[in-house]
């Protein structure tokens, strides 16, 4: 009797060893068929799964560009001496604001004296030619003159006026009204602005090919020159408002407006030069500073999903899309821009699809 009982216990033990999984544990297994998986409600993973219905959202793609602040060309002037000569007087100081045509410095120059002499000689020649022309007109009028001599006098008078106009234009180039021969040249400001560089020294001799001695800039507005990649230029339009950040003022909010988009692509960088105009009333933005420009693009309807829903396999990306009760299938997707929370889907999903937003990590064995 004791031997029979022992035999029954041994058979029961052997049977249990051959069937280690209970019926309950079999119900908990993930059922995998290719790219499809079924998650029984009795499986612990089921409670960790979260889903979401895909919808289209308003989304704006951000375009970021590095740029450099520069003075607007029409608001910037480098002043050099137009002639070789010696500076006799300075009228300005560093940091001073000047108006267009204000005197900057005075220079004595023999070359300028020649220009003055040409003007004076041309003026005298015109006066003599005019007298001769009026005289010939009077003689012909009274019947004692010769028409040929009148025509010659008229031609000479016109030629002399042309020479005077040329000599006068030469003086106007230097903002001079002529003055007497031997008078100094007064170099004047071509624009309104601030003296941001002044190398004038009274008594110094300057050559006509010397470097600029004065720089004037009007910096109430500045340009930021940035490079936008060829693939992103479609998002940028003249007149668009942009936000600008400079490292010197990290907490300052600066706005600008797209002023110009270059017509030529830089073949070495595959980028296009874009100019942004910014107000600069307090002169905090200095030419040469680096800036980061964020272009705001026009919002458009697009599919955005939580970044936690996106899975990676080798070089491809996919999501788990719900295909039935507790059933999911792997769906390859193409992504666009992403931030810390959301990612743009450019293909593979449409509004109304239900995807797994949490728990996808537990599906790694169901690849």
> Do 157 and 289 sit in the same domain of this protein?
no
Per-position pLDDT tens, the chain of length 367: 444 433 433 334 344 444 444 444 444 677 888 788 888 888 888 888 899 999 888 766 668 888 999 999 999 999 998 889 999 999 999 999 999 999 999 999 888 888 888 888 899 999 999 999 999 999 988 888 899 988 999 999 999 999 988 888 877 766 555 456 678 888 999 999 999 999 999 999 999 888 999 999 999 999 999 999 998 888 888 998 898 999 888 888 889 999 999 999 999 999 999 999 999 999 999 999 999 998 876 667 888 899 999 998 888 899 999 999 889 999 999 988 777 788 888 899 999 999 999 988 887 655 4
SS3 88: strand
User: What secondary structure does DSSP assign to 109-164, as a single string?
Assistant: -HHHHHHHHHHHHHHHHHHHHHHHHHHHHHHHHTT-S-HHHHHHHHHHHHHHHHHH
Write down the pLDDT at residue 21: 44
> Do 232 and 119 sit in the same domain of this protein?
no
Phi, psi of 212 (to 5 degrees): -55, 145
Tell me which of 161, 196, 216 is where a domain ends.
216
Strand-pairing partners, residue 305, are: 343
DSSP 8-state secondary structure symbol assigned to residue 7: H
Write down the pLDDT at residue 190: 92
Write down the pLDDT at residue 176: 55
Domain of residue 146 covers: 75-216
* CB-facing half-sphere around the CA of 86: CA atoms within 13 A: 3
The Cα–Cα gap between 233 and 272 comes to 7
> Do 83 and 208 sit in the same domain of this protein?
yes
The Cα–Cα gap between 56 and 251 comes to 34
> Do 105 and 166 sit in the same domain of this protein?
yes
> Do 55 and 70 sit in the same domain of this protein?
no
Closest CA to 274 of 304, 244, 229: 229
> Do 116 and 212 sit in the same domain of this protein?
yes
> Do 99 and 188 sit in the same domain of this protein?
yes
Tell me which of 147, 182, 216 is where a domain ends.
216
Tell me which of 280, 295, 310 is where a domain ends.
295
Neighbours of 262 (CB within 10 A): 15
Structure tokens at 12: 């029961």
Residue 280 falls inside a structural domain: yes
DSSP 8-state secondary structure symbol assigned to residue 297: P
The per-residue b/e assignment along 121-131, b for 16 or more CB within 10 angstroms, e otherwise, is ebeebbeebee
Write down the pLDDT at residue 9: 39
> Do 80 and 114 sit in the same domain of this protein?
yes
> Do 309 and 348 sit in the same domain of this protein?
yes
The Cα–Cα gap between 235 and 63 comes to 8
> Do 256 and 288 sit in the same domain of this protein?
yes
CATH number for position 113: 2.40.50.100
The Cα–Cα gap between 209 and 83 comes to 8
């Amino acid at each position: 009797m004791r031997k029979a009982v022992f035999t029954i216990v041994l058979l029961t033990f052997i049977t249990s060893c051959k069937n280690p999984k209970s019926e309950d544990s079999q119900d908990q297994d993930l059922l995998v068929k290719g790219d499809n998986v079924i998650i029984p409600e009795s499986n612990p993973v089921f409670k960790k799964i979260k889903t979401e219905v895909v919808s289209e959202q308003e989304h704006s793609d951000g375009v970021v560009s590095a740029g450099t602040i520069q003075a607007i060309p029409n608001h910037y002037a480098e002043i050099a001496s137009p002639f070789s000569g010696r500076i006799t007087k300075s009228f300005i100081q560093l940091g001073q604001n000047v108006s267009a045509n204000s005197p900057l410095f005075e220079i004595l120059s023999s070359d300028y004296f020649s220009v003055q002499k040409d003007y004076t000689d041309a003026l005298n020649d015109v006066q003599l030619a005019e007298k001769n022309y009026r005289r010939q007109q009077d003689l012909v009028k009274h019947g004692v003159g010769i028409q040929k001599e009148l025509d010659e006098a008229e031609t000479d008078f016109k030629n002399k006026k042309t020479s005077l106009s040329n000599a006068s234009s030469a003086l106007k180039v230097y903002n001079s009204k002529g003055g007497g021969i031997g008078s100094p040249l007064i170099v004047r400001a071509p624009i309104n602005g601030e003296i941001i560089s002044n190398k004038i020294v009274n008594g110094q001799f300057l050559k006509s090919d010397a470097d600029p001695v004065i720089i004037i800039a009007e910096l109430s507005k500045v340009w930021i020159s940035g490079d936008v990649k060829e693939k992103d230029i479609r998002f940028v339009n003249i007149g668009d408002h942009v936000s600008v950040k400079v490292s010197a003022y990290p907490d300052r909010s600066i706005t600008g407006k797209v002023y110009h988009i270059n017509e030529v692509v830089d073949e070495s960088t595959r980028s296009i030069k874009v100019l942004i105009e910014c107000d600069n009333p307090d002169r905090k933005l200095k030419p040469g500073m680096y800036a980061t420009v964020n272009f705001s693009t026009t919002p458009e309807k697009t599919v955005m999903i939580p970044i936690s829903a996106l899975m990676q396999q080798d070089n491809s990306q996919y999501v788990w899309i719900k295909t039935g009760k507790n059933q999911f299938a792997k769906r390859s997707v193409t992504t666009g821009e992403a931030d810390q929370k959301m990612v743009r889907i450019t293909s593979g999903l449409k509004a109304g699809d239900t995807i797994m937003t949490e728990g996808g990590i537990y599906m790694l064995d169901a690849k």
